[in-house]
Structure 1
């Protein structure tokens, strides 16, 4: 099967959607399928060989974050050329209503099309405004996927229609077998609490974590907070807010995938203090895969990933005092912390790419089967259409 995947966001500063697209492409290729990915990227940005760059992008603030999008007549020409050259059996668009590559590809799509929706938000004026403009294009989509119930609800409320829920995938094994690193490993007197995320995006929750440091360190003087992620402005603001307590927080900057796995498997607790705009929570699944106890804000998406608090510990969103209380309780209870981590390790199996890829391929096969049936009807009526050989496309 020839699969074309389109990512609306730039690979220059990759995030959850970009990693999802990359991992899905590689999981499909591991099954023997041919995959091409269209994505925005600057000339000096290194991208995998199966990716094609549509050029540079423009940063725009959206949903509490900065999205780097690519649009315009020149980009549209590149999208059409990529589609023509790819001759894909199926086209898989991510965030197709975002004014970027996926929307351009949707406008030009002529064959079987699947779309994945990642965004979660309670109310969006932008989506409400764009909805009448994109609804006709959305009718070209043969199957819709949402990465969570929250993303599905956003789709239903703002754009209409429904979707099957297939979660984000994680390669569980690399995190499961990662070895502890002495740099990140704590002791009973000096436990380590880890955080990963963009430091200059308030919704990622660094200010909430910073607000809990004083209380935790007052009770556990040796506690170390390991903060990984880019964003100089957020780091500097955190240091200023911490004052003398800044010495208990180690800012690691951007880290490699190997270091991320080592950090997660070494820490006593992983904290996810996000305040909103999360449709899933991939880093929670990564921490659970590493066998680390997760403490997370009680956002709907996080509650569902953590089985309503069975596979992780929840605190009130945005409440630094409640986060501090929760951390102190879980750090003081080794038996409970181990039990929560064990339940997390069991729960993540459903998010492994081996499972998720099967579910995505099932959607592809249903779409191709429906397209095949439609083409046969058209031909029987004297029309013309492309015949998709479902049986011959499974490798």
Structure 2
């Protein structure tokens, strides 16, 4: 099958949608399909062979964040050329309601279109206001996918229609097989059989964020956070506010932070003695992200809103990291209502600190969460998610073929892109 996938956001700025599209494309390629991805990208951005650049993106405030989108007459010409050259059996558009390549592709293309909706925003006035403009394009969609029940709800309430829920996918084995880096290992889960003593970790002292052992050769308790550190909705300020209370009970604890942003600003509100317990790792590769998640005692997701799924939670569970997350609706669903990870009241730094301290005192509970998470994430593996998405493709392609006449034009004409 020839499959075209449209990415709305800049390929060179990492995000959950881009990762999902990348992993989906590579999964489909491994299955023997021909795949091309159209995405905004700067000229100097190195791209995989299956990605076609639609040109430079511009930053636009979107859904509580800043998205780098691509729109306009030049972009429309590039979309038209890509569709013309691709001769696709199925077009898969991500975020077709966003002012970017997906909406342009929806306007231009004719034929089987599958759309995936990622956004969860129950009060989007912009989406409601834009509905008359979006409606003609959205009516061309053959099948709709939502990455969560909350993304589906946003679609239904703002744009009408419905969607099948297929979650974001993760290569579970990639994270499970990662070898943790010794300097990132936490002492609660990774210091051998002696870690089972209740309260044994809280006695670690004399470690100021270093990777060496604490008292009695123990490594310090280690928390992890991955995300854009200067984007408020990712919640790092909430975690920073909770850190002094965590250190009051676990004096040797450290926080490993991976992601881009202003590191000095991130710790500006912390007492000087606390800042030394925070280690900024900057942007990390996929391999190092997996190694980091494999090594921490507790992964903390303090996000404050705007999340429709929570792919980082699935990645953490895949790597064996116990998860503590804010009680966003999407996070609660991903964590199986608290069965696969613990939940605290969103934006409540005191509640975060209490939960983290309780978990770090209880290695048995951390191991239980690790085991439950490892079982739970199997449903998010690409072997399952990819098969579900491919089934949607086949359904819409077969449906398009069944209504065509025996003497129908070729694929190019079916897409409205016949050569002159």
- Determine the structure 1 residue equivalent to 2:370: 341
Q: Which residues in structure 2 correspond to 1:8-47 (within 5 Å)?
A: 8-47=8-47
- Determine the structure 1 residue equivalent to 2:322: 293
- Determine the structure 2 residue equivalent to 1:103: 103
**Cα deviations by residue, 1:55-78 (Å, 9 ceiling, x for unpaired):** 101101111111001111111111
- Determine the structure 1 residue equivalent to 2:255: 225
User: Are 2:391 and 1:358 aligned?
Assistant: no
**Cα deviations by residue, 1:120-153 (Å, 9 ceiling, x for unpaired):** 0120111111111111111100000000001000
User: Are 2:62 and 1:62 aligned?
Assistant: yes
Q: CA RMSD in A?
A: 1.2
User: Are 2:231 and 1:201 aligned?
Assistant: yes
Alpha-carbon distance between aligned partners in 1 of 2:87 and 2:411, rounded to the nearest angstrom: 13
**Cα deviations by residue, 1:81-132 (Å, 9 ceiling, x for unpaired):** 0000000001000001111111111111111110000000120111111111
Alpha-carbon distance between aligned partners in 2 of 1:220 and 1:315, rounded to the nearest angstrom: 19
Between the two proteins, the alignment pairs up a number of residues equal to 381
Q: Which residues in structure 2 correspond to 1:121-160 (within 5 Å)?
A: 121-160=121-160
| 2:116 alignment partner, SS class | strand
Q: Which residues in structure 2 correspond to 1:212-361 (within 5 Å)?
A: 212-232=242-262, 235-244=263-272, 245-361=274-390
User: Does structure 2 conserve the Cα–Cα contact (< 8 Å) formed by 1:8 and 1:101?
Assistant: yes
Alpha-carbon distance between aligned partners in 2 of 1:197 and 1:64, rounded to the nearest angstrom: 15
- Structure 2: give runs of 5+ residues left out of the alignment: 188-200, 205-219, 413-420
Deviation at 1:238, TM superposition (A): 2.2
User: Does structure 1 conserve the Cα–Cα contact (< 8 Å) formed by 2:230 and 2:266?
Assistant: no
| 1:241 alignment partner, SS class | coil
- Determine the structure 2 residue equivalent to 1:391: none
Alpha-carbon distance between aligned partners in 2 of 1:77 and 1:319, rounded to the nearest angstrom: 48
User: Does structure 1 conserve the Cα–Cα contact (< 8 Å) formed by 2:87 and 2:411?
Assistant: no
Alpha-carbon distance between aligned partners in 1 of 2:65 and 2:115, rounded to the nearest angstrom: 22
User: Does structure 2 conserve the Cα–Cα contact (< 8 Å) formed by 1:41 and 1:54?
Assistant: yes
Alpha-carbon distance between aligned partners in 1 of 2:264 and 2:144, rounded to the nearest angstrom: 41
Alpha-carbon distance between aligned partners in 2 of 1:280 and 1:387, rounded to the nearest angstrom: 35
What TM-score, normalized by structure 1, do the two folds share?
0.95
Deviation at 1:384, TM superposition (A): 4.0
| 1:137 alignment partner, SS class | helix
User: Does structure 2 conserve the Cα–Cα contact (< 8 Å) formed by 1:42 and 1:55?
Assistant: yes
| 2:271 alignment partner, SS class | helix
Deviation at 1:385, TM superposition (A): 4.7
Alpha-carbon distance between aligned partners in 1 of 2:285 and 2:64, rounded to the nearest angstrom: 25
User: Does structure 2 conserve the Cα–Cα contact (< 8 Å) formed by 1:372 and 1:387?
Assistant: no
Alpha-carbon distance between aligned partners in 1 of 2:6 and 2:266, rounded to the nearest angstrom: 36
- Structure 1: give runs of 5+ residues left out of the alignment: 389-395
User: Does structure 2 conserve the Cα–Cα contact (< 8 Å) formed by 1:168 and 1:351?
Assistant: yes
Alpha-carbon distance between aligned partners in 1 of 2:18 and 2:180, rounded to the nearest angstrom: 27
- Determine the structure 2 residue equivalent to 1:175: 175
What TM-score, normalized by structure 2, do the two folds share?
0.89
| 2:115 alignment partner, SS class | strand
